[in-house]
Amino acid sequence: MLSFILRRLVIAIPTIILISVFVFTLQKLLPGDPVLAMAGEERDPQVLEFLREKYRLNDPIPVQYFTWIGNALTGDLGISLRTNQPVLELIGEKLPVTIQLATMAMIFAMVIGIPAGIFSAVKKGTVTDYVANVVALSGLSIPNFWLGIMLILLVSVKWKLLPASGYVPLSEDPLRSITVMLMPAFVLGTALAATLMRHTRSAMLSVMSSDYVRTARAKGLVERKVILKHAFRNALTPIVTLTALLFGELIAGAVLTEQIFTIPGFGKLVVDAVFNRDYAVVQGIVLVTAVGFIFMNLLADVAYVLLNPRLRKQ
Amino acid sequence: MTLTKMTLAAALLGATTLGAQAADLRIALQSDADVLDPDQSRTFVGRIVYTSLCDKLVDITPDLEIIPQLATEWSFSEDGKQLTMKLRDDAVFHDGTPFDAEAVAANIDRSQNLETSRRKSELSSITGVEVLGSHEIRFDLADADATLMAQFADRAGMMVSPTAAEAAGDDFGLNPVCSGPYQFKERVAQDRIVLEKFADYYNADDFHFDTVTYLPIPDTTVRLANLQSGDVDMIERLAATDLAQAEGDDGINVESAVSLGYQGITINVANGEKGDNPWGNDKRLRQALSYAIDREAINQVVFNGAFAAGNQPFPPNSPWYSTDFPVPERDVEKAKELLAEAGFADGIDLEVQVPNTTIPLQLMQVVQSMAAEAGINISITSKEFATLLADQSAGDYQASQIGWSGRVDPDGNIHQFMTSDGGINDSKFSNPEVDELLNKARKSNDQDVRRESYTAARAILNEELPIVYLYHQTWIWALDAGLTGFTAYPDGMIRLDGVMKAEG
């Protein structure tokens, strides 16, 4: 087992190096000078030159890369060109925000999507099924930003039920933190709920037509038990896999939602960093994300091996 | 079912906590400030925060007159090369360091010599600082500098605690210490900046909030929604298109002031190879473009009439506006004539780069259709702002839709753009006579001499048109109706003295 993990880790190293080189190069290909972008209206050539020196932007690109990756190995991802804050600190500050948003959105998506999928599979071909499908399709097609703004206008401005935007840390005031994030989580969750609903429906449909479900019915079980205990349990496996996959997508999708609801999360951090050509921040984020993904994959691989001894030999 | 109940309960609980803290003033800004160090910072919103955080040597009135703040009185020597200033003796920095002449000297030194300082060029005329007494100081200048007092009314005149600045160095901005009515409490990047009342402020009675929270909310619709829902008390830069909605809301008051800045089309006259084309070489084409545009119509169509049409670096209501050159009427025939004279009777193409955001794009589309009627075929290249700026600076453009946020002193709106070696002269326009006139205006403390110089320069620039000015933005603030005492300033800042919330 240990040798398996080690082997996987060794394979992960070149991947991380490749990603880091890729991101670094891509950034340098972006048009626009970070120092100029940062200067805005105040372009004192002397200061611009000093900053280029300070952030080593005058070094050849390979030298810049090795300086950066060397520092990164010691846990120093540099400082933000814009606010002078350390990049690692920024990431540590923003990541939990987005994870909270994504988790709440996932809960919304599951609570809405899965029951709707089951329902629509069971009532296949009826009006209920069509209505559920239309709703799901709308959920997929309504743009996030539009839904977000409409909700703000309705729920916050008209009914004054929820705050229009912003963020309160979970640690500061848990209830308020969740309250503030209800709307954004719902907006982010809707598209996902639709995807989940469609997948649940098709998984349920294929299971419902299988032999053991017919057997269960023949045994004289009540329909509710047939659906929930026999069919749904087996349909669940692909849904769970999909849900796990979609979580990563949620974090990416949070970018837009965070912009609308002014949530100081990971997505907003990366978008602002790209626009400001805040290289250190963009690189730091991509590196951390890449390492995170590789680590999650490794965990999944380990889990598969634990579940399936046949894989260990390969 | 239980979930809906929980949601509702949570929502109601959340709603009841809103607006509970009456002593906190919440202000929504259009973007997040950059580093909070007056010597290093660059953003407009940063300056809004400083207005409550960092006192300056002098301030301005809404009519742009210079008035005392930390300096109580001042005078220039006969030749304009010495400025003597008396300072107030009851001011103290947030860390307890007393404010005195030594502190001012240390601040000037920091602004001039900190490697990352953005204030160097603003204070470049100062060659020496002499402390005359505990609260009296003299600045020695290389040459007379009419812009200096206006610089002292902005970031270059903001005084930071010398003790704190020395201890923190480049990192001062993470925990700024100044001498304003509010002191720094905390900042969460992209989320909020919180200031709390400074009890030892010399004029503390005039400031009525325990804390002031600045929240960056970039989307204009969301910013207004936050005001309408009561989540914030005040927003800056309400979109002109939302003006009618805000004015129609009984719970909201709207205040506005025409800004000090301008927006226009900068044409590459001689910035590298790309300036060598008919648009750069023949002023008649640039004049034709100017004649083809109906500036008032732009104001009506794009900005619902809320902004001000313009044709100079100063807005028409500015004391520096040259009335000899009023905003021209649209004249398509004249534009066609000029094109024909220049040899382009059949029309000519012009590529204009535009920031890829809504307003500039709408603006250019209106200009595009107006120009088309005169035979100028504008193609719009929309670029993300950082790219646009880099291309413009490098001369890799034909024309560029860009503006300037504006400065209190007129020099700041024209000198660096129109003089041959001006720092932001991206057009690379060069005319010895204009150089001479603008330098003369910069050095004279006589308002009439300055005004004459600017008018004379305008006569040339109006012919040459390296920048075709289009309009002046109006700062629009929307405030909760319960908020009183706010005064709109043309510099767009939010001054909180006298601002208070009505009871209830």
In three-state form (DSSP H/G/I as H, E/B as E, the rest C), the secondary structure along B137-175 is: EEEEECCCCCCHHHHHCCHHHECCCHHHHHHHHHHHHHC
Contact B143, B18 (CB under 8 A): no
Single-letter amino acid code for the residue at A184:
P
Q: Which residues of A234-248 are buried (b: 16+ CB within 10 A; e: fewer)?
A: bbbeebeebbeebbe
Given this model, what pLDDT does residue A271 score?
87
Cα–Cα dist B143/B82, whole Å:
9
Give the dihedral sign, CA A119/A122/A125/A127: negative
What letter does residue B367 receive in the DSSP assignment? H
Indicate the pTM of the whole model: 0.87
Strand-pairing partners, residue B404, are B262
Strand-pairing partners, residue B254, are B478
Give the side-chain half-sphere CA count within 13 A for A63.
6
Is A112 among the domain residues? yes
Single-letter amino acid code for the residue at A39:
A
A100: distance to nearest CA of chain B, Å?
Answer: 16
Q: How confident is the model at residue A314 (pLDDT cuts 50, 70, 90)?
A: low
Given this model, what pLDDT does residue B293 score?
98
Q: Write out pLDDT tens, residues A142-191.
A: 888 899 999 999 999 999 899 988 898 998 899 999 999 999 999 999 98
Single-letter amino acid code for the residue at B311:
N
**A262 to B18: CB separation less than 8 angstroms, yes or no:** no
Give the dihedral sign, CA A46/A47/A52/A53: positive
Cα–Cα dist A164/B222, whole Å:
7
> What's the farthest any 2 CA atoms get from each other in chain B?
82
Single-letter amino acid code for the residue at A71:
N
Contact B260, B474 (CB under 8 A): no
Chain A residue numbers with beta carbons less than 8 Å from the beta carbon of B173 are: 83-84
A151: distance to nearest CA of chain B, Å?
Answer: 10
Degrees, nearest 5: CA angle A50-B177-A76: 50
Mean pLDDT score, A79-85: 84
Cα–Cα dist B99/B91, whole Å:
5
Contact A275, B385 (CB under 8 A): yes
Given this model, what pLDDT does residue B11 score?
47
Phi, psi of B348, rounded to the nearest 5 degrees: -150, 150
Cα–Cα dist A12/A15, whole Å:
5
Chain A residue numbers with beta carbons less than 8 Å from the beta carbon of B404 are: 41
- B18 closest CA partner among B188, B233, B235, B221: B233
Kind of pairing between the strands at B24-29 and B234-235: parallel
- Run of H or E residues at B454: helix B447-464
Give residues with Cβ within 8 angstroms of B218, minimum separation 6: A259, A262, B30, B31
**HEC assignment per residue over A213-234:** HHHHHHCCCCHHHHHHHHHHHH
- Residue B387 C-alpha from the chain's centroid: 21
| Cβ neighbour number for residue A254 with a 10 Å cutoff | 26
| B contact test, residue of A27, A29, A36, A47 with most B CBs within 10 A | A47
**Looking at the complex, does the CB of residue A275 fall below 8 Å from at least one CB of chain B?**
yes
Beta strands in B259-398 (DSSP E): 262-267, 308-309, 348-355, 376-383
What letter does residue A309 receive in the DSSP assignment? G
| B contact test, residue of A29, A42, A111 with most B CBs within 10 A | A42
Is A70 among the domain residues? no
Cα–Cα dist B120/B137, whole Å:
20
Q: Based on the structure, what is the number of domains in chain A?
A: 1
Is A200 among the domain residues? yes
Q: Which residues of A193-204 are buried (b: 16+ CB within 10 A; e: fewer)?
A: bbbbbbbbbebb
Q: Which residue has the tokens 């010399």?
A: B202
Is A74 among the domain residues? no
Extract the residue ranges of chain B whose pLDDT is less than 50: 1-22
Q: Write out pLDDT tens, residues A117-135.
A: 998 998 888 998 998 888 8
Beta strands in B298-343 (DSSP E): 308-309
For residue B163, give both structure tokens. 């003790």
Q: Write out pLDDT tens, residues A268-311.
A: 898 888 888 888 899 898 888 888 878 877 777 777 777 666 76
- Which of residues 217 through 246 in chain A touch B, CB cutoff 8 A? none
Of B3, B42, B188, which has the smallest distance from its Cβ to A39's Cβ? B42
Given this model, what pLDDT does residue B1 score?
40
Given this model, what pLDDT does residue B281 score?
96
Q: Which residue has the tokens 């000078």?
A: A33
**B217 to A165: CB separation less than 8 angstroms, yes or no:** yes
Given this model, what pLDDT does residue A241 score?
75
- Mean of pLDDT over chain A: 86
Which residue does chain B place closest to A155, by CA atoms? B229
Cα–Cα dist B456/B495, whole Å:
36
Cα–Cα dist B255/A143, whole Å:
34
Burial class (CB in 10 A: 0-12, 13-18, 19+), B451: middle
**Looking at the complex, does the CB of residue A43 fall below 8 Å from at least one CB of chain B?**
yes
Contact B321, B487 (CB under 8 A): no
Given this model, what pLDDT does residue A49 score?
85
Is A4 among the domain residues? no
A176: distance to nearest CA of chain B, Å?
Answer: 6
H helix intervals, B18-96: 44-53
Domain with residue A147: its CATH number is 1.10.3720.10
Single-letter amino acid code for the residue at A26:
L
Contact B234, B214 (CB under 8 A): no
- Run of H or E residues at B196: strand B192-197
Of B121, B188, B387, which has the smallest distance from its Cβ to A264's Cβ? B188
Single-letter amino acid code for the residue at B445:
N
What letter does residue A155 receive in the DSSP assignment? I
Given this model, what pLDDT does residue B180 score?
97
- With a cut of 90, say whether residue A239 has pLDDT above it: no
Q: Write out pLDDT tens, residues B84-133.
A: 999 999 999 999 999 999 999 999 999 999 988 889 889 999 999 999 99
**A275 to B387: CB separation less than 8 angstroms, yes or no:** no
Q: Which residues of B36-68 are buried (b: 16+ CB within 10 A; e: fewer)?
A: bbbbbbbbbbbbbbbbbbbbbbbbbeeebebee
Single-letter amino acid code for the residue at A141:
S
- With a cut of 80, say whether residue A195 has pLDDT above it: yes
Degrees, nearest 5: CA angle B18-B22-B23: 130
Given this model, what pLDDT does residue B503 score?
64
Is A142 among the domain residues? yes
**Looking at the complex, does the CB of residue A302 fall below 8 Å from at least one CB of chain B?**
no
Tell me which residue range forms the domain holding A98: 92-263
Contact A154, A187 (CB under 8 A): no
